Amino acid sequence: MKFCIRNPQKRAPRLGILKNIEGRTNIEIETPVVLLHTQGGHIPHVTHEVFKLVSKEPQILQIPLVSMHNFQETMEYYNGTISEFIGNKDSLTCLTLQDPSNLTKQGHHVKEKVPIWTKNGKVLYDSEMYMNIVESFKPDMYYLLSDGDTNKTSAPKRISKAVEHTIIFNNQCLERHKKSNILKKAFVMAPIAGGYCLKSREKCIQAILKNTNELGGFLIDGLHNNGPEVEFLPFEEVRDVVEYVIKSVPQEKLCSVQGCWNPVNVLKLVQQGIDMFDTSYCRILTERSAAMIFPIDNTEEADSFEINLRQSKYVDDFTPIMFSCQCLACSKYSRGYIHHLLTVQELLAPVLIMIHNIHHYLRFFKKIRECIQNNTLSDLENRISEQYKNHQEKVLSAKTEEEPRRTYPRNDVGDVE
């Protein structure tokens, strides 16, 4: 797999293509791209069969290792790739360590090991164990192991540990990668740690740049600890770090972030030059029974940024989630029906909401690429920022009258008991 920039004369925002994909030379993926966030090998609530009703275009599935760790031993005995194993051999896969939709528990670090929190508790991964699983999964893309356990409030000691660990992991994993026949064609990306300290970021980047030939791209890691709170991260907080990393890594490499960034921050990150995101934002919305309806085209009309279908006003609203949306949920089902499914706690409610949210988010990314092409990304950003701001104000003022904003008692909302 190869990453090519289509408008190299400009650092950001930019358009790119992932092509020459092993065994799928007929497929090209355009960037900025959004990976389909999965858990246990599926988009939450949406089977691969149902996803075919949402989109037939080629997609990259983001496979968080933490949700697949229980298959570690099974995969040693399995001959195929992870995409075959999860029942979707036509899709591309990108293996990553943590699940961006769930808050990652902090701490519990051990020298040269990184903790992940599986459904059966803590598991410590070192470079060897990690690369064993990468080899057995045979993903199309993967990230090297990293210590991304930092956020805005991290102490300097934690940040320097994260950098130190990440440099060791990067080197160990790359050594192994170079020797691996199975992973010869895999697209490798290096996470860059260092929290909000530019000096630490610099240290991490300098160490990684020695291996730049082996790398297809980078991940700006350690900006947050994942989970629903990322939606409300003020962009001003992350701007300097993102700007610094993008400026410091080779231009021709793919640059990615992970997490539930809201659409406004996605646009700001694209403006900075980020090429790759994920759909974990769709999951956190779906888990709170919300559907995004912000207008993507300027011909579209919408009564809000997002709607919460649990609200009783939708009980006899037989209109679709969004009139201008062509998705399966909007073309065949009403807000009233989804409201009913939510009130009786039926499994189909999150299925329909997720179908719409994913469809809407994919359409949003398509629009982003179109706007970069037409030089109108700032217009889109202004429009969506305005709508988002109005929505947040409405939410804040309603907060006192209505039920408080849903909080997350656990970080595995929506999982079956």
Partner 1 sequence: MTSFSAKHKPLPLVFNVLSECRTTKARVGKMVLPHGQVDTPVFMPVGTQGTLKGMLPEQLEKLGLQIMLANTYHLGTRPGPDVLKKAGGLHKFMNWNGALLTDSGGFQMVSLLKLAEITEEGVKFQSLNQQKAEVMLTPEHSIEIQNAIGADIIMQTTRWLDRCLKSHANPETQSIFPIVQGTLYEDLRVISANDHIKRDVNGYAIGGLSGGESKDDFWKVVHLCTDILPKDKPRYLMGVGFAVDLVVCCALGVDMFDCVFPTRTARFGCALIMTGQVNLKKKKYAKDFNPIDKDCTCNTCQKYTRAYLHGVVTSYPIACHLLTEHNLAFQLRLMKMIRDSIHENTFPKFVADFMLNLHPDKDYPTWIQNSLKAVNIELL
Binding residues for Zn(2+): 325, 327, 330, 356
Of residues 190, 204, 212, 81, the one with CA closest to residue 143: 190
Count CB-CB contacts under 10 A for residue 198.
15
341 binds partner 1 per the rule CB under 8 A: yes
Task: Give SS3 for 141.
Answer: strand
Distance in Å, CB of 411 to partner 1, minimum: 15
Residue pair 106/122 in contact by the 8 Å Cβ criterion: no
**Considering beta carbons, is residue 133 or 219 the nearer one to partner 1?**
133
- The partner in contact with residue 303, picked from Zn ion, partner 1, none with C-beta cut-offs of 5 to 8 angstroms by kind, is none
Distance in Å, CB of 227 to partner 1, minimum: 18
Q: Which stretch binds Zn ion (CB under 5 A): 72-80, 256-264, 348-356, 400-408?
A: 348-356
- The partner in contact with residue 330, picked from partner 1, Zn ion, none with C-beta cut-offs of 5 to 8 angstroms by kind, is Zn ion
Q: How far apart are CA 125 and CA 95, in angstroms?
A: 14
Which DSSP string do the residues of 239-260 spell out, in sequence order? HHHHHHHHHHS-TTSEEE--S-
347 binds partner 1 per the rule CB under 8 A: yes
Distance in Å, CB of 153 to partner 1, minimum: 32
Q: How far apart are CA 322 and CA 9, in angstroms?
A: 38
User: Buried b vs exposed e over 318-344: b needs ≥16 C-beta within 10 Å?
Assistant: eebbbeebebbbbeebbbebbbbbbee
Q: How far apart are CA 146 and CA 169, in angstroms?
A: 6
**Considering beta carbons, is residue 118 or 211 the nearer one to partner 1?**
118
With a CB cutoff of 8 Å and minimum separation 6, the contacts of 235 are 264, 265, 268, 269
Distance in Å, CB of 327 to Zn ion, minimum: 3
54 binds Zn ion per the rule CB under 5 A: no
Q: Count of residues binding Zn ion (CB under 5 A)? A: 4
| Site map 307..336 versus Zn ion, x via CB under 5 A | ------------------x-x--x------
Q: How far apart are CA 10 and CA 8, in angstroms?
A: 5
**Measured torsion, CA atoms of residues 242, 253, 60, 76, in degrees rounded to the nearest 10:** -100
310 binds partner 1 per the rule CB under 8 A: no
User: Out of 16, 32, 44, 191, which residue is the one contacting partner 1 (CB under 8 A)?
Assistant: 44
**Considering beta carbons, is residue 327 or 354 the nearer one to Zn ion?**
327
User: Buried b vs exposed e over 388-413: b needs ≥16 C-beta within 10 Å?
Assistant: beebeeeeeeeeeeeeeeeeeeebbb
Distance in Å, CB of 64 to partner 1, minimum: 13
- The partner in contact with residue 327, picked from partner 1, Zn ion, none with C-beta cut-offs of 5 to 8 angstroms by kind, is Zn ion
Distance in Å, CB of 49 to partner 1, minimum: 5
Q: What is the DSSP letter of 110?
A: B
Distance in Å, CB of 282 to partner 1, minimum: 15
Q: Which stretch binds partner 1 (CB under 8 A): 127-135, 185-193, 268-276, 334-342?
A: 334-342
Q: Count of residues binding partner 1 (CB under 8 A)? A: 45
- The DSSP bridge partners found for residue 113 are 110
Phi, psi of 393 (to 5 degrees): -65, -40
Q: How far apart are CA 141 and CA 154, in angstroms?
A: 29
Calculate ∠ Cα 300-301-305, nearest 5°.
110
48 binds partner 1 per the rule CB under 8 A: yes
Place of tokens 């992350």: 238
- The partner in contact with residue 356, picked from Zn ion, partner 1, none with C-beta cut-offs of 5 to 8 angstroms by kind, is Zn ion
| Site map 57..96 versus partner 1, x via CB under 8 A | -------------xx-xx--xx------xxxx--------
Q: Which stretch binds partner 1 (CB under 8 A): 25-33, 209-217, 229-237, 325-333?
A: 325-333
- The partner in contact with residue 281, picked from Zn ion, partner 1, none with C-beta cut-offs of 5 to 8 angstroms by kind, is none
Phi, psi of 298 (to 5 degrees): -75, -5
- Token readout for 377 is 């990304």
Residue type, 213: N
Distance in Å, CB of 132 to partner 1, minimum: 17
Which positions touch partner 1 (CB under 8 A)?
Answer: 39-42, 44-50, 53, 70-71, 73-74, 77-78, 85-88, 119, 315-316, 318, 328, 332-334, 336-337, 340-341, 343-344, 346-348, 350-351, 414-417
Which positions touch Zn ion (CB under 5 A)?
Answer: 325, 327, 330, 356
